[in-house]
Amino acid sequence: MQRLYASWRHAYVTRETHAGDCIFCRAQATSDADALIVHQGVTAFVILNLFPYNAGHVMVVPRRHLASMAALTHDELVEMAELTQAAEQVLTEVYRPQGINVGMNLGRPAGAGVADHIHTHLVPRWTGDTNFMTVVGEVRVLPEEIPQSAGRLRPAFARLLARG
């Protein structure tokens, strides 16, 4: 039997989590480079997924620690929608995907990895980008490293959102 190793996943599956320890809240308390935040809004921000499904996988996250969309204020809801729209434009410009998955998983049974702080995923997609590696080997083959993604996305967000 041949084995395929994804040693980078070890950090994710063995990470310590504590009650009240939220990756999104912690990301806001560190520098942009460390947290991989690619855009800071007023009530929400855009951050790269540390364990992406594809290159350019970002999440739009409200600053407040909330578990449901129903708890968002009108301003938070509007900014999340606007940042999701901006992220679609930025990903299209930077990565030229053939499609983008956009979605939320509300609650752990729905697939939420961070169930108590809502966030919207945007995953660039290309025809043929899924392969046997993910299905058989539980390995993702990504064409670029996360810091390179951050370096490509930050200026595009700054340019797009400076225009209004």
Whether 18 is a known active-site residue: answer: no
47 token code pair: 């951050």
Whether 77 is in a domain gets the answer yes
Whether 125 is in a domain gets the answer yes
Whether 107 is in a domain gets the answer yes
Q: What is the pTM of this model?
A: 0.77
CATH of the domain at 24: 3.30.428.10
Whether 9 is in a domain gets the answer no
Read off the amino acid at residue 63: R
Residues forming a β-bridge with 60: 46, 120
Report how far residue 29's alpha carbon sits from residue 24's, in angstroms, rounded to the nearest whole number.
9
Whether 129 is in a domain gets the answer yes
Given the residues 39, 57, 119, 121, the one annotated as active site: 119
Q: Give pLDDT, residue 46.
A: 97
Q: Give pLDDT, residue 32.
A: 67
**Distance, C-alpha 48 to centroid of its chain:** 4
Domain total of the chain: 1
Whether 8 is in a domain gets the answer no
What parts of the chain have a pLDDT lower than 70?
1-20, 32-33, 130-142, 164
Whether 6 is in a domain gets the answer no
Q: Give pLDDT, residue 82.
A: 97
Whether 147 is in a domain gets the answer yes
Q: Give pLDDT, residue 3.
A: 54
Q: How far apart are the first and last CA of the chain?
A: 55
Report how far residue 107's alpha carbon sits from residue 111's, in angstroms, rounded to the nearest whole number.
7
Domain that holds residue 23: 18-162
